Structure 1
Amino acid sequence: MGALIEHPAIYPFLTGKQNLALYAMTQRTCNNSRPPWGCAPTTHAKTKGHSLGMKQKPGIAIALLNHPQLVILDEPMNGLDVESTITARRLIQQYAAAGTALLISSHILNELQKVMTQVILIDHGQIIVDQPINTFNQRHQRDYRLMTTNPQLTAQLLAQSHTAYQQADATFRVKRTDILTIQDLLMAHHIYLQELTPLRPILE
């Protein structure tokens, strides 16, 4: 089991690599073909001078040492820059694909949605959502983004047919249940689709 809870459990007078070696109790962990994140040469400085994001890196690496069966991460993306966030996301996906179970708690919902397979939302101590992310996406994916070759006429036709829509410049937001009716309507007036994209729901 590995964990990163609230703050990285690292020693400030040691470098990132030394912290990893201490937790692993052997240098071989940092010298194998697939080292955990944090074994890079950039971790030779003592961690006491590191920023929050820089401390998160060895903290996450420690949690992933020795390829645990279960990893608990609390706000793992906290303080990370864009590149480090992408790296952390890839690591989570790699370990999950290899069979590691990861329980992640975070308020950065847009990042979690990119890696999660099961979503649990808690509001005032009550579980309000507990379902696979695919089920969540399908259930809440109700709107589509629509673009046509004639936005002005499209708006007129939608209004005349009493079809609900929202317009922003040349883009329309329509209901999934109206898609077939809209396509027939456009075709009858020789208007062609340029884009028809489902709008994915976000956890926020």
Structure 2
Amino acid sequence: MLVVQNINTYIGRKQIITDATFEIHPGNIIGLIGPNGAGKTTLMKTILGLTKFDGQIRLNQTTVTENQHAALANVGALIEHPAIYPFLTGQQNLALYAHDPADCRRLIAKLEMTTYIHDQAKGYSLGMKQKLGIAIALLNDPQLVILDEPMNGLDVEATIGVRRLIHQYAAQGTAFLISSHILSELQKVMTHAILINHGRIIVDQPIAEFEQLHHQAYRLHTENSQLTVKLLSRHHIQYTLDGDTFQVNPKDIFEIQDILSAQHVHLKELTPISSSFEQIVVQLLNQQRGGDQHHD
């Protein structure tokens, strides 16, 4: 549906995005992850043709160019702040964009905005404005929805409601590109992860592949640590040792079990060492930082 190919984005003379390439397919929910200043919002604006860039962006085979939005007729977006007219009611704001009044009513009900939708938007709380912005982005059954920090200002119930709505639209084929600093929330909806740092994409993977990183090592404890050391060393199997506990590579665990069994060394423990999603992201960013420093 969306193809982003070798994109370089500039603000003034400063390059913000470097050689970004990825694809989004119908029903994908892409989590765009990265530290502040990594280029998440700039990348989203680039896809919407709002910034100067080179490279190629195609939406359903139609090329997106700067300040030319014909390709974006079926794209909904919420970037930075909801585009709301303060002296219009929420209903009037939605009516400006809606093709179908029934679509408006559906979104008002699903986002639980009924009690205040006829009030002027200038009196809305941050969470109310955010829900109205999300509703505007979801109007007219878009093929692609781009949401920048959509959970910003939402309470727990509203967050759950928005998450449910994203799943419903994705199940019908709508694709999403969502940035959020609340990684635990993003993890609950996304099917793919794109990790960006210093304007470069450093990870672009389905979430199932990404989560394999959760089990980067196994903890091994045997009844005879000294003999285990000798056996692992003899078979050139890498390990680290902390007291009597070994840390070994997942790819070696079947061979290790065979070796220990052949020598009648019994296992006391063999368990994966898990990292949280946040820890994995931090590890990847630190690895890249280390690589950048080494390169310098």
- Tell me if both proteins adopt one fold, taking TM over 0.5 as the criterion: yes
1:61 counterpart = 2:143: no
Q: Distance in 1 between matches of 2:84 and 2:107?
A: 24
Higher strand share: 2
SS of the residue 1:104 aligns to = strand
Return closer, same or farther for 1:114/1:158 CA change in 2, 3 Å cut-off. farther
Q: Distance in 2 between matches of 1:142 and 1:73?
A: 31
SS of the residue 1:112 aligns to = helix
Aligned match for 1:186, one of 248, 261, 268: 268
Return closer, same or farther for 1:94/1:200 CA change in 2, 3 Å cut-off. farther
Q: Deviations over 1:2-40 (max 9, x none)?
A: 110111011111222332223215532234599553553
Q: Which residue is 1:122 aligned to?
A: 196
Aligned match for 2:103, one of 29, 43, 60: 29
Q: Map 1:112-151; keep pairs closer than 5 Å.
A: 112-142=186-216
SS of the residue 1:43 aligns to = coil
State the AA in 2 paired with 1:91.
L
Deviation (angstroms), 1:112: 1.2
1:43 counterpart = 2:117: yes
Q: Which residue is 2:274 aligned to?
A: 199
Q: Which residue is 1:84 aligned to?
A: 158
Deviation (angstroms), 1:78: 1.0
**Is the CA contact (8 Å cut-off) linking 2:111 and 2:158 kept in structure 1?**
no
Return closer, same or farther for 1:33/1:52 CA change in 2, 3 Å cut-off. closer
Q: Distance in 1 between matches of 2:131 and 2:218?
A: 38
Return closer, same or farther for 1:86/1:144 CA change in 2, 3 Å cut-off. farther
Q: Distance in 1 between matches of 2:105 and 2:124?
A: 23
State the AA in 2 paired with 1:104.
I
Deviation (angstroms), 1:165: 6.7
1:74 counterpart = 2:148: yes
RMSD: 3.6
Q: Distance in 1 between matches of 2:154 and 2:186?
A: 14
Q: Distance in 2 between matches of 1:159 and 1:176?
A: 17
Structure of higher RCO (CA pairs closer than 8 Å, 6+ residues apart): 2
SS of the residue 2:268 aligns to = helix
**Is the CA contact (8 Å cut-off) linking 2:167 and 2:189 kept in structure 1?**
yes
Q: Distance in 2 between matches of 1:41 and 1:18?
A: 15
Query: Any unmatched runs of 5+ in structure 1?
Result: 146-153, 167-171, 188-195
Aligned match for 1:7, one of 70, 78, 81: 81
Relative to structure 2, which stretch is displaced further, 84-93 or 45-54? 45-54
**Is the CA contact (8 Å cut-off) linking 2:130 and 2:153 kept in structure 1?**
yes
